Amino acid sequence: MRIQRSVIASAALLAVALAGPAAAWEPTKSVEFIIPAGTGGGADQMARFTQGVVAKHNLMKQSVVPINKSGGAGAEGFLDVKASKGDNHKIIITLSNLFTTPLATGVPFNWKDLTPVAMLALDNFVLWVPADTPFMSPKDYLEAVKKAGPNKFKMGGTGSKQEDQIITVAIEKAYGTKFIYVPFKGGGEVATQLVGKHVDSTVNNPIEAVAHWRSGKLRALCVFDGNRMPYKDKVTATMAWNDIPTCKEGGIPMEYTMLRGIFMPSGVSPDVVTFYVDLFKKVRGTAEWTKLMQDGAFNQTFMSGKEYVDWVARAENIHRELMRDAGFLAVKK
């Protein structure tokens, strides 16, 4: 089977070589889709979703095979792609750990070791509290936190020195108070801990908390994006995503969204990158994708090429500054 496949592959390569550069590049074997996070999380869902959509609509002749490499806060996946220089059949989906993991742990990789392909979407963060607390606005809540004094209110979040804790520290700076930050393994667990009132607030992504919001267990105080989320269909009995104010409106001068983007190993030709950019444009064009974006209240910004590279470079600087302010940078040995 394998021999047969490689014969076909080399025949295909030969055909491409004979046809010359005019023919568009296409994958000649199945494409590995690396997920630098565990099964069931946001990045994992998006990658498996992509696999399903590609198969269902026949967007590519070869199949996509998602592989989880979650070790070391995602470092395992990034190091794998870094080491696969010139591999045309490997792509990786990123979350903020693209920036935070090397900065916090000193593991040797950087987005510049990879080839940026495209931004699929930006994931939002919402400040949540249990619905039966008296806090109706971010101001109510944070004033109460401030009044109670440092280390009284508990903020739950995913992982340590990653996006949730970065946001927490930024809130603390803005309000001159201190939470007890309690790290958990995954976003779903964080949301459940909030419903069970083992923590006082969280900054869950919309898709992680929406079920509890709809059942009336949680209240959304504000969203950490620059603008309100655009989705106007009612999600709960009275609220749409669009009804949630931005945290800026609520007096927290903090903006944060998380990259859901695609990268490749370095040393691949522009034809190959173009193929994947087009592929993801097609994926984004499906009805299933639109529904996923709506359910998860994603910010649907799409970027590729230089625009995307500039965005990533800017995001890295923002993360470095936020993490330096918070004292999260790895000590250089």
Partner 1 sequence: MEEINALFHGFTVALTPFNLMLMFVGIILGVIIGVLPGLGGANGVAILLPLTFSMPPTSAIIMLSCIYWGALFGGAITSILFNIPGEPWSVATTFDGYPMAQQGRAGEALTGAFTSSFVGALVAVLMFTFLAPLIANFALQFGPPEFFAVYLLTFCSFVGTGKGNPFKIVASMMLGFAMAAVGIDIVTGQLRLTFGFTELLSGFHFLVAVIGLFGIGEILLSMEEGLSFSGHGARINPTIVLQTWAKLPRYWATSIRSCLIGCWMGIIPGGATPASFMSYGVARQMSREGAKFGTGQLEGVVAPETAAHAAGTSALLPMITLGIPGSPTAAVLLGGLMIWGLQPGPLLFVEQKDFVWGLIASMYLGNIAGLIVVLTMVPLFAAILRVPFPIIAPVIVVICAIGAYTVKNNMLDVWMMVVFGVVGYAFRKLDYPLAPMVLALVLGDSAESSFRQSMLIAQGDLRVFFSNWLVGSLTGLALVALFWPLLSAGITRLRAALAAGPG
Binding site for partner 1 (CB under 8 A): 38-40, 44-45, 48-49, 51-53, 55-56, 66-67, 69-73, 75-76, 79, 104-105, 107-108, 151, 154, 159-162, 165, 180-185, 188-189, 191-193, 195-196, 198-199, 207, 210-212, 214-215, 217, 288, 291-292, 295, 328
- Residue 105 or residue 266: which is nearer to partner 1 going by CB? 105
> In the bound complex, what is the minimum distance in angstroms from residue 222's beta carbon to partner 1?
22
As beta bridge partners, residue 202 has: 128, 156
> In the bound complex, what is the minimum distance in angstroms from residue 144's beta carbon to partner 1?
18
- Residue 165 or residue 299: which is nearer to partner 1 going by CB? 165
Separation CA 209–CA 188 (nearest Å): 7
DSSP letter, residue 28: S
> In the bound complex, what is the minimum distance in angstroms from residue 50's beta carbon to partner 1?
10
> In the bound complex, what is the minimum distance in angstroms from residue 139's beta carbon to partner 1?
25
> In the bound complex, what is the minimum distance in angstroms from residue 84's beta carbon to partner 1?
12
Separation CA 281–CA 275 (nearest Å): 10
143 Cβ contact partners less than 8 Å away, ≥ 6 residues apart: none
* DSSP letters for 147-169: HH-TT-SEEEEESSSSHHHHHHH
Tallying the residues shown for the chain, one arrives at 333
CA angle 195, 200, 205 (to 5 degrees): 65
- Residue 212 or residue 259: which is nearer to partner 1 going by CB? 212
> In the bound complex, what is the minimum distance in angstroms from residue 90's beta carbon to partner 1?
12
Is the sign of the CA dihedral 105, 106, 107, 109 positive or negative?
positive
The answer to whether 133 touches 219, Cβ cutoff 8 Å, is yes
- Residue 119 or residue 217: which is nearer to partner 1 going by CB? 217
- Residue 200 or residue 225: which is nearer to partner 1 going by CB? 200
Which is nearest to 110 in space by CA: 326, 281, 252, 319?
319
- Residue 108 or residue 267: which is nearer to partner 1 going by CB? 108
